[in-house]
Structure 1
Amino acid sequence: MRAAIVVQRYGNEVLGGAETLARRVAELLAPELELTVVTTCALDYLTWADHYPAGEDEVNGVRVLRFPVPKPRDPKRFARISDKAYRAPRDLELGSEWMRAQGPHSPELLEHLRDQGSQYDVVAFITYLYATTTEALPLVADRAVLYPTMHDEPPLRLAIFDEIFARSLAVLFSTPEERELARSRFGVEDDRARIIGVGVDELEGDGARFQAETGVARPYAAYLGRLDPSKGVPDLIAHHTRYRTGRPDGLDLVLIGSGDIDLPAGNGIHALGFVPEQLKHDAIAGAEVVICPSPYESLSLSQLEAWTHARPTLSNATSPVLVGQSQRSGGGLWYENGTEYAAMLDLLARAEPLADAIGSQGRRYARENYSWDRVRDGWLAALSGVARPARADSP
Structure 2
Amino acid sequence: MKKIAILVPRFHPNIAGGAEKLALDYALILKESHQVQIFTTCAKDYVSWKNELREGEEDWDDIKIHRFPVKKERNINVMNQVLESCLRKGNKVSIEEEENFLIEQGPYSPSLVSRVIEVQNQFDLIILVGYLYYPIVKVLPNLKKPTLIIPTFHEEPAFTLPLYKRTFLPDYSYCFNAPEEADVYKKQIGVLPKNYFYIGTYVSLPKEEVLQQNPISVEEEGINLLTLGRIEPAKGFPELYAHYDSWKHFFPKEKIRLVSIGNNHLPNDLIPISVHLQGFVTQTEKENLLQKSHLILNPSALESFSIAIMEAWSFAKPVLVNGKSDVMRGHCQRSQGGLYYSDEISFRRSLEYLIQNPDIRERLGKNGRKYVELNFTKETIKNKLELVVSKLLD
What amino acid is the match of 1:380?
A: E
Secondary structure of 2:244's counterpart equals: helix
Contact 1:313 1:332 survives alignment (8 Å): yes
Deviates most, 51-60 or 289-298: 51-60
**Distance between the aligned counterparts of 2:60 and 2:214, measured in 1?**
30
Amino acid at match of 2:342: E
- Indicate conservation of the 8 Å contact 1:128/1:148, yes or no: yes
Residue number among 235, 238, 241 corresponding to 1:234 in the alignment: 238
Stretch moving more, 109-118 or 307-316: 109-118
Unaligned runs of 5+ in 2: none
Aligned to 1:34: 35
Percent identity for Structure 1 against Structure 2: 28
1:222 maps to which residue?
Answer: 226
User: Contact 2:169–2:193 at 8 Å: present in 1 too?
Assistant: no
Out of 103, 110, 116, the position equivalent to 2:113 is 110
TM value normalised by structure 2: 0.92
Please state if 1:248 is matched with 2:252: yes
Q: For each residue in 1:336-367, what CA deviation from the matched residue of structure 2 results, as whole angstroms up to 9, or x when unmatched?
A: 11121122112111211111111111111111
Stretch moving more, 58-67 or 14-23: 58-67
TM-score, with structure 1 as normaliser: 0.91
For the residues of structure 1 that align with 2:150 and 2:272, how far apart are their CA atoms?
A: 41
Residue 294 (1) aligns with residue 300 (2): yes
- For 1:175 and 1:269, locate their aligned partners in 2 and report how far apart those are by CA, in whole Å: 31
Shift in Å, 1:303: 0.8
Residue equivalent to 1:72: 73
- Cα separation, 1, equivalents of 2:335 and 2:371: 5
Q: Does 1 or 2 have the higher relative contact order (CA < 8 Å, sep 6+)? A: 1
Q: Which runs of 5+ in 1 are unaligned?
A: 389-395
Query: What is the CA–CA distance in structure 2 between the aligned matches of 1:167 and 1:324, rounded to whole Å?
Result: 24
The 1:19–1:84 alpha-carbon spacing in structure 2 relative to 1, beyond 3 Å, is same
Q: Which of these residues, 370, 375, 383, is aligned with residue 381 of structure 2?
A: 375
Q: Provide the secondary structure at the position in 2 that maps to 1:254.
A: strand
Superposition RMSD in Å? 2.2
Question: Where do residues 41-60 of structure 1 align in structure 2 (5 Å cutoff)?
Answer: 41-60=42-61
Deviation at 1:294, TM superposition (A): 0.4
Matched AA of 1:256: I
Deviation (angstroms), 1:14 = 1.3
Q: In the alignment, residue 220 of structure 1 is paired with which amino acid?
A: N
Q: Is the 8 A contact 2:39 2:116 kept in 1?
A: no
Distance of aligned partners of 1:125 and 1:57 in 2 relative to their CA distance in 1, 3 Å threshold: same
Shift of 1:139: 2.2
Instruction: Measure the CA separation in 1 of the matches of 2:125 and 2:232.
Output: 34
- Counterparts of 1:327-366 in structure 2, within 5 Å, are 327-366=333-372
Counterparts of 1:1-395 in structure 2, within 5 Å, are 1-90=2-91, 91=93, 92-166=95-169, 169-189=172-192, 191-203=194-206, 218-250=222-254, 251-263=256-268, 267-387=273-393
Say if 2:174 and 2:193, in contact at 8 Å, map to a contact too: no
The change in CA–CA distance for 1:31 and 1:145 in structure 2 (over 3 A counts) is: same
Distance in 2 (CA, whole Å) between partners of 1:334 and 1:163 is 34
Structure 1 pair 5–66 and aligned structure 2 pair: CA distance change class (3 A): same
- Asked if the contact 1:306–1:312 (Cα under 8 Å) also holds between the matched residues in 2, the reply is yes
